[in-house]
Amino acid sequence: MLWWSNYADPRRGGKSASLLDRCGATNTCPKVFEAFGATEFWGLRMSPGLVGTDAAHDIPLPDNVRRYYMPGTNHGGGRGGFEVAQSANDRCALPQNPNPMAETTRALTAALVDWVVRGTPPPPSRYPTLASGDLVAPTRAATGFPLIPGLPFGDQFVNAVLDYDLGTTFVYEDLSAWSAVSRRRSGR
């Protein structure tokens, strides 16, 4: 998982760690914008990155990180506007959403440049959280998702997070692959 702040992964027995541990140790962490749409939320399983594997509470973002969610978008966004006749494609039961992301991405890029170059604070983060009630249990009742005839969903909208075994040299806390020699030298 990718956590911007320290989080101990109770489901997999992980120690408290953050993506920013290495740069934090040298006080060299960059300013970060994390922007994602609905496809990333579902397909890349974003919710554990927001609330951890136990979903007990929102994991706060550090001061140098902003997060922006663009709901209702496919990966990269659509072209904008609906076509008169849309058809399903070979990956989805329903036609893709044409909601664009390009304009928002351009505005966020300009805000990131202003933050880095001029110190201008960027827009506040906008993404679903448990505290706001926007991030809810994956059920029809909690989400308000309608019953659509022929749609291949049950009541539980769960896209399981897989736990890969990446070998003994992989360091899960910072997503690096160190050799045994490097680990001995670093004291890990």
DSSP per position, 31-82: PEEEEEEHHHHHHTT-HHHHHTTTTSSPPPPPTTEEEEEETT--TTB--SS-
The pTM of this model reads 0.77
Span 41-45, average pLDDT: 72
Asked if pLDDT for residue 67 goes beyond 60, the answer is: yes
DSSP type of residue 11: T
Q: What is the model's pLDDT at position 66?
A: 98
Span 19-36, average pLDDT: 94
Residue 6 is which amino acid?
A: N
Average pLDDT over the chain reads 81
Give which of 72, 127, 71, 76 is closest to 94, Cα–Cα.
72
Q: CB of 36 within 8 A of CB of 46? A: yes
> For 120-150, how does the pLDDT look when each residue is reduced to its tens digit (9 = 90+)?
999 999 999 999 988 887 778 888 888 878 7
Would you call 96 helix, strand, or coil by DSSP? coil
Q: What is the model's pLDDT at position 23?
A: 93
* Sign of the torsion formed by the C-alpha atoms of 41, 42, 48 and 54: positive
Asked if pLDDT for residue 28 goes beyond 90, the answer is: yes
DSSP type of residue 156: B
Residue 15 is which amino acid?
A: K
Beta bridge partner(s), residue 69: 36
Q: What is the model's pLDDT at position 144?
A: 83
What CA–CA distance (Å, rounded) separates 100 from 56? 33
What CA–CA distance (Å, rounded) separates 156 from 70? 23
What CA–CA distance (Å, rounded) separates 77 from 37? 8
Give the containing element (helix H, strand E) for 140: helix 140-143
Beta bridge partner(s), residue 120: none
